[in-house]
């Protein structure tokens, strides 16, 4: 059965500017931390504190990783597949192999939550694509996504119709 709203082919969606800006700010602050902690040691004004020097370098490396990931992470549509790309992975799912969609919420300890969109394949050998809602998705993406079978609603229906309880 053909979809009324086709996939938004040849589109690339990036993380929202806020997430990219956070990564850049983290990188800038970690660079200032490295400069501040190493400067006085290099000019002989202070005795080296190895734990502080190592910590500053670790923060800088985390900042570099966050920034590269924030600038490189994309959700890309081609004519026949959707691809989730980050610095650590590249997952590709053919559009014809998508069984349906799910929406998840991961709750933090302090009450906040991150919402995820999931594309579930109809073949267990293929990856489930799970990505935050924090991308620059447009109306064409959401029209396509919302037309996919809602697996959450199907699960609720199955559990509602099931005969659970004591005998």
Q: What is the per-residue pLDDT across 43-53, written as a single tens digit (0 to 9) for each?
A: 777 787 888 88
Q: Is the pLDDT of residue 1 over 50?
A: no
Q: Which domain holds residue 132?
A: 96-161
135-164 b/e (C-beta count within 10 Å ≥ 16 → b) = bebeeebeebbeebeebeeeeeeeeeeeee
Q: Give domain status of residue 149, yes or no.
A: yes
Output DSSP code: residue 96. Answer: G
Stretch 55-82: mean pLDDT, rounded? 95
Q: Give domain status of residue 151, yes or no.
A: yes
Q: Give domain status of residue 137, yes or no.
A: yes
How many domains, in total, are found in the chain? Answer: 1
Supply the pLDDT for residue 167: 43
């Amino acid at each position: 059965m053909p979809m009324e709203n086709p996939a938004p082919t040849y589109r690339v969606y990036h993380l929202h500017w806020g997430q990219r800006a956070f990564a850049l700010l983290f990188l800038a602050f970690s660079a200032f931390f490295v400069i501040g902690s190493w400067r006085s040691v290099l000019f002989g004004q202070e005795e080296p504190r190895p734990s502080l020097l190592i910590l500053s370098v670790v923060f800088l490396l985390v900042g570099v990783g966050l920034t590269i990931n924030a600038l490189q992470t994309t959700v890309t549509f081609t004519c026949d597949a959707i691809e989730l790309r980050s610095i650590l992975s590249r997952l590709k799912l053919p559009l014809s192999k998508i069984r349906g969609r799910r929406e998840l919420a991961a709750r933090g300890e302090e009450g906040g939550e991150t919402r995820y969109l999931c594309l579930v394949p109809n073949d267990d050998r293929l990856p489930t694509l799970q990505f935050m809602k924090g991308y620059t998705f447009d109306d064409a993406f959401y029209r396509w996504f919302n037309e996919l079978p809602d697996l959450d609603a199907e699960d609720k229906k199955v559990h509602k119709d099931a005969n659970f309880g004591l005998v």
